[in-house]
């Protein structure tokens, strides 16, 4: 199964300042702020939803096609993704702008000053999926992840027009989009991914009820944090799949993306939806135990071990059987 993952590709630059921002902000001088904080730590983390999902799929032995827009600074990141089984040939490299970047400084009281530079991401709207599909001899599923809003709308539209299956995963961009736009992301999706908050926001923005959303998608996959995941399909009883065993949840960042990677990999192995959710949960568990969305080590063995521990030996055996 050929999976193309569209969405953001970005890095997070996280700094920690040992002092307090408040000590340097002078109440009656706020019209002329020019501050510099001497920071001790700089952590650069690879991220962006499309890159995160692709990374997980690559670790699970698939060869997903990453689709998004970056800057000339992407070379190192591309090499990392390629080493983990990701095909980056569908990535557009901007001539003008840098790769999207989140820069955040946190002080000792956990106050944060952050900026997000979308940069090259705005050029994702110019990417066409059809030429890519032709070059690859077809695409079986396109993930439409959080991205430049116009790109998200275009990718969904292109999938509908060309009859390509797609999974809608608008996540954090929902907040920035209006009702008609959100409707166009959801309509006709084979899978709709969201957490509980995003599910509620989707209903609020579209004006569609729970059932009306469900009537427009093949299956709705709602992640519930530590409570696992729920899968709904019109006219069928809901499935609830408990979370996988986690030794210590260190950092939730990227768990949702790791879940999607596991779920989609299992889908490509021909497993049932409840098993796909288990594989998603087991993949997310790997991510939760480390800091950062692409820092986990995921192998066939580690996945099977987690499956057996969380869902029993039969579940693990079935996955082992289907994984190439």
149 binds Mg ion (CB under 5 A): no
Beta strands in the chain (DSSP E): 3-6, 10-16, 41-47, 65-70, 91-93, 100-106, 112-117, 141-145, 166-169, 191-195, 219-223, 229-232, 239-241
228 binds ligand ATP (CB under 6 A): yes
Residue with smaller CB distance to Mg ion, 7 or 256 = 256
Instruction: Reply yes or no on whether 210 is catalytic.
Output: no
Restricted to residues 40-79, the positions that interact with ligand ATP (CB under 6 A) are: none
* Shortest reach from residue 258's CB to ligand ATP, in Å: 7
User: What are the helix and strand counts (H, E) for the chain?
Assistant: 12, 13
* Shortest reach from residue 166's CB to Mg ion, in Å: 18
d(CA 217, CA 212): 9
26 binds ligand ATP (CB under 6 A): no
- Sheet with 91-93, side-by-side order of all strands: 91-93, 65-70, 3-6, 141-145, 166-169, 191-195, 219-223, 229-232, 239-241
247 contacts 291 by C-beta, under 8 angstroms: no
Residue with smaller CB distance to Mg ion, 140 or 196 = 196
Using CB under 6 A as the binding criterion, the count of chain residues that bind ligand ATP stands at 21
Instruction: Output the residue with the shortest Cβ distance to ligand ATP.
Output: 256
**What binding mask, one character per residue, do residues 228-257 give for Mg ion by CB under 5 A, x or -?**
----------------------------x-
285 binds ligand ATP (CB under 6 A): yes
Cβ atoms < 10 Å from Cβ of 60: 23
283 binds Mg ion (CB under 5 A): no
Q: What are phi and psi of 101, to 5 degrees?
A: -145, 135
DSSP helix/strand/coil, 129: helix
* Shortest reach from residue 145's CB to ligand ATP, in Å: 11
Active site residues: 257
Q: Which residues are near Mg ion by CB under 5 A?
A: 171, 256
Q: Which residues are near ligand ATP by CB under 6 A?
A: 195, 223-226, 228-229, 243, 246, 249, 252-257, 259, 281, 284-285, 288
């Amino acid at each position: 199964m050929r999976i193309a993952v569209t969405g953001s590709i970005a890095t997070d630059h996280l700094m920690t300042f040992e002092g307090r921002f408040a000590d340097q902000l002078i109440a009656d001088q706020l019209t002329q702020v020019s501050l510099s904080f001497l920071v001790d730590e700089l952590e650069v983390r690879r991220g962006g939803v499309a890159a995160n999902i692709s990374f997980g799929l690559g670790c699970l032995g698939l060869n997903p096609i990453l689709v998004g827009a970056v800057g000339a600074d992407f070379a190192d990141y591309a090499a990392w993704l390629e080493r983990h089984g990701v095909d980056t040939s569908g990535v557009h490299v901007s001539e003008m702008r840098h790769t999207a970047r989140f820069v955040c400084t946190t002080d000792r009281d956990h106050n944060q000053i952050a900026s997000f530079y979308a940069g090259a991401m705005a050029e994702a709207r110019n990417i066409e999926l059809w030429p890519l599909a032709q070059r690859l001899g077809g695409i079986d599923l396109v993930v439409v992840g959080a991205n430049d809003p116009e790109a998200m709308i275009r990718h969904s539209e292109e999938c509908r027009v060309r009859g390509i299956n797609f999974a809608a995963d608008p996540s954090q961009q929902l907040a920035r989009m209006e009702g008609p736009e959100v409707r166009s992301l959801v309509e006709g999706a084979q899978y709709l991914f969201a957490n509980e908050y995003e599910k509620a926001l989707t209903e609020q923005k579209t004006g569609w009820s729970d059932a009306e959303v469900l009537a427009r998608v093949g299956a709705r996959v709602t992640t519930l944090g530590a409570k696992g995941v729920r899968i709904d399909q019109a006219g069928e009883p809901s499935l609830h799949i408990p979370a996988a065993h986690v030794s210590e949840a260190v950092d939730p960042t990227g768990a949702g993306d790791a879940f999607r990677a596991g779920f989609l990999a299992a889908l490509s192995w021909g497993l049932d939806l409840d098993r796909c959710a288990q594989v998603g949960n087991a993949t997310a568990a790997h991510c939760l135990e480390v800091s950062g969305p692409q820092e986990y080590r995921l192998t066939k063995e580690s996945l099977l071990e987690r499956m057996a521990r969380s869902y029993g030996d039969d579940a693990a055996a079935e996955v082992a059987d289907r994984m190439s």
